[in-house]
Amino acid sequence: MEIIIISLTAFLASILTFFSGFGLGTILTPVFMIFFPVELAIGLTGVVHFLNNIFKVFLVGKNADKTVLLKFGIPAVIAAFFGAWLLFQIPDAKPLFTYEMMNKTFEVYPVKFIISILLIIFASIDLIPYLNNLKFGKEKLPLGGALSGFFGGLSGNQGALRSAFLIKAGLSKEAFIGTAVIVSVFVDFTRLSVYASKFSKSGITDNLTLIICATLSAIIGAYIGNKLLKKVTIKFLQIFVAIMLIIISIALGSGLI
């Protein structure tokens, strides 16, 4: 069942990533968390995200702006390393707090709570008008790269912050997407290098079938999304996804999942 749900999510999210502030990782991470522990969910998402972005580089990478790529991408890669390292330093052996509801005891662990807060923040960017319209000038590109890279390494979610900073870089739509894809590939490679030491212990090698199915679904979605890029507006879907992401994040942060 998890293969069907995760593959379908990867397919739909990969289409949406061409239009919205949400990336594949932002949507796919909490879905993986329903079925797997937090660290493993982030690792699995990272593998699918990386392989899908490799495919997207061939689709749109040639449109990337080299100057913006350097100013934004280098800080993103450096910060991604520290974010990924921090993920495995957060103590998660004991619950942050516990509570009872309907004769059941729920435990909230530090990593899940932190990730849920981050996901809610990223989802809110598309729901709150002020945040949705929040933009940053070119001089803030290194800062934006560092922030998006750090949170990309920590939680797998970098798309919303990356979009907020790159959108004001004076790029065409094609250059914006191409630049974002290449930055994402480098951040993914960096964080996966850090995650790699945990892969054998976390059980990623035991889920290769799931990774393959989710990746193929994401690639098909990316191909369709690229074809629809100039034809579709998805404001309703953007808001719908944000609401669903917040619901899942609340469930994650409250110990329900």
Structure tokens at 48: 């699918």
pLDDT in tens, the chain (257 residues): 788 989 988 898 888 776 654 567 777 877 887 888 777 887 888 888 888 889 888 888 888 888 889 999 999 999 999 988 887 777 656 777 787 777 777 777 776 777 777 767 766 766 666 666 665 567 778 988 898 899 888 877 777 667 767 776 777 777 888 888 899 889 888 988 887 776 665 566 778 888 899 999 989 988 887 777 665 544 555 566 567 667 767 776 676 66
Q: Residue 9: what pLDDT? A: 87
CB 56 within 8 A of CB 224: no
CB 19 within 8 A of CB 236: no
Q: Residue 234: what pLDDT? A: 45
Q: Residue 242: what pLDDT? A: 65
Q: Residue ranges of the domains in the chain?
A: 2-253
Q: Which residues contact 121 (CB under 8 A, 6 or more apart)?
A: none
Integer Cα distance of 141 and 130 in angstroms: 20
Characterize 220-244 residue by residue with b for buried, 16 or more Cβ atoms within 10 angstroms of its Cβ, and e for exposed. bbbeebbeeeeeeebeebbeebbee
Give the SS3 label for residue 101: strand
Integer Cα distance of 81 and 214 in angstroms: 25
Q: Max alpha carbon distance in the chain (Å)?
A: 58
Q: Which residues contact 86 (CB under 8 A, 6 or more apart)?
A: 153, 154
Closest among 247, 253, 209 to 44, alpha carbons compared? 209
DSSP 18: T
pTM of structure: 0.72
Q: Residue 208: what pLDDT? A: 82
